[in-house]
Structure 1
Amino acid sequence: MLENFGSTYSVTDGTPGSPEVTSDTVSYLFARYGGCTFNGGLYRVHTADSSRRACTMLAEAFPEFSFPLIPFGFDWLGRQFILDLRTKDTDPEIMMLEPGTGYALEIPRKFSSYHDDELVRDPEPSILPGFFGEWRRANPADLAFNECVGYKVPLFLGGEDSLDNLELSDLEVYWSLMGQLRIATQGLAPGTRIDGVDIRDGI
């Protein structure tokens, strides 16, 4: 597990571990690469501690989920990858929670093969390396573990999916803001005019 992934992606921050026992579990992923940043921030693997903190912020932004949220990694746009625990499968599939669109998307790939297959064979749908390359040409600095590139105006409020609508953000602050906006605007008809935003009290 993780051999193909490790030979394809470069660790640019953090220190990989050497777990003694190989198993297809999140614990093994954390032991091997927890806290590591790959390719300047394109993808990062949670530690057990950062996963627990992320679980709290995801539950606040997506309160409709009643199953346990176990984030194991996140990409440069702050999108969180979690186990789809709506079934009792011992090797669950993956879900991606997107703060900028407000969507929860299913990735039809088992956790055990996600890193070594999906992220190696066809990473574009998951982590958008092409778009990240565009961002890096204009912003060459690596992302810190607690940073992401967020939308100034989220896509669910009509923002454009373009470089001009992106900015460097603190990951937890960005998720908190996007979560509040997502919840406050759910149920509004498309095209509803929003005249202003108060971060403390909502819209």
Structure 2
Amino acid sequence: MFETFRNVFQPDEREDLAVAQATPKSGDPEVDQLLEQFGGQSFNQGIYRVISAGAVARWAERATNAFPRFVGRVTPFGVDWLGRLFALDSARHVDGMTAVVMLEPGTGQALEVPCGLVAFHDAELVQYMEEALAEGFYKKWRATGGAAPRVGQCVGYKRPLFLGGADTTDNLELAKLEVYWETSAQLLDKTRDLPVGTHVNNISIN
């Protein structure tokens, strides 16, 4: 399990061991095994990261603050360079396995991934890295001089796409991952019920 993932994704940084090696208690045995092996580890110059074992509950709260319809449904396990969160969604199953969902703070979208946890790491991330991790966009960001995000960081949109921001490297900046999610959650909450195409001028963030 996760052998193909291990062969393709090279570790580059890890959180403090006391945090990363906390006893996994996600409630899902496959997630716990993933966190036990890779929790808190960043891979391939920050393009993908497995969250630390002790952070599952905190990430579930952040996820559902931004995406309320997933309350009670998600078990987070990973995050990519754009700050997009990967989680198991208990309301969906593929081939008898709980399916993966990708929650995007920069677009406000939740995208269904057609596989379970093991297939996501050993097949989806390996065979479809462009679709899963926006690998080409990451290379463009790095080619413009953009830094690889370290643990606790992501490359977020200066102006979110759901507020009319451009999906270009000019609209990206290095950000603190938790702050990016908290800000995105507040923006999504304030704009969720607005009609499509509404022009937003000023929004205050607490």
In the alignment, which residue of structure 1 is the partner of 2:24?
A: none
**Paired AA for residue 115 in structure 2:** R
The 5 Å alignment of 1:15-164 reads: 25-87=30-92, 91-139=97-145, 141-164=147-170
Secondary structure at 2:100's aligned position in 1? strand
1:84 Cα deviation from its structure 2 partner: 1.4
1:140 Cα deviation from its structure 2 partner: 5.3
In the alignment, which residue of structure 2 is the partner of 1:175?
A: 181
**Paired AA for residue 12 in structure 1:** D
1:88 Cα deviation from its structure 2 partner: 7.3
Query: Take 2:40 and 2:72, find their aligned partners in 1: how far apart are those partners?
Result: 25
1:143 Cα deviation from its structure 2 partner: 1.6
1:129 Cα deviation from its structure 2 partner: 1.0
Distance 1:124 1:151, change over 3 A: same
Query: Take 1:127 and 1:88, find their aligned partners in 2: how far apart are those partners?
Result: 22
**Paired AA for residue 93 in structure 1:** A
1:55 Cα deviation from its structure 2 partner: 1.2
1:177 Cα deviation from its structure 2 partner: 0.7
Query: Take 2:159 and 2:3, find their aligned partners in 1: how far apart are those partners?
Result: 38
Query: Take 1:143 and 1:26, find their aligned partners in 2: how far apart are those partners?
Result: 24
In the alignment, which residue of structure 1 is the partner of 2:3?
A: 3
1:59 Cα deviation from its structure 2 partner: 1.4
Q: Are the aligned partners of 2:73 and 2:90 in contact in 1 as well (CA < 8 Å)?
A: yes
Secondary structure at 1:40's aligned position in 2? coil
Q: Are the aligned partners of 1:91 and 1:112 in contact in 2 as well (CA < 8 Å)?
A: no
Which runs of 5 or more residues in structure 2 are unaligned? 22-27
**Paired AA for residue 61 in structure 2:** T
**Identity level (%):** 42
Equivalent pairs counted in the alignment come to 195
TM-score, normalising length from structure 2? 0.88
Which runs of 5 or more residues in structure 1 are unaligned? 18-22
1:197 Cα deviation from its structure 2 partner: 1.5
Secondary structure at 2:142's aligned position in 1? helix
Show CA shifts across 1:129-179 (max 9, x none): 111111112235432211000001100011000000000111111011111
Distance 1:8 1:179, change over 3 A: same
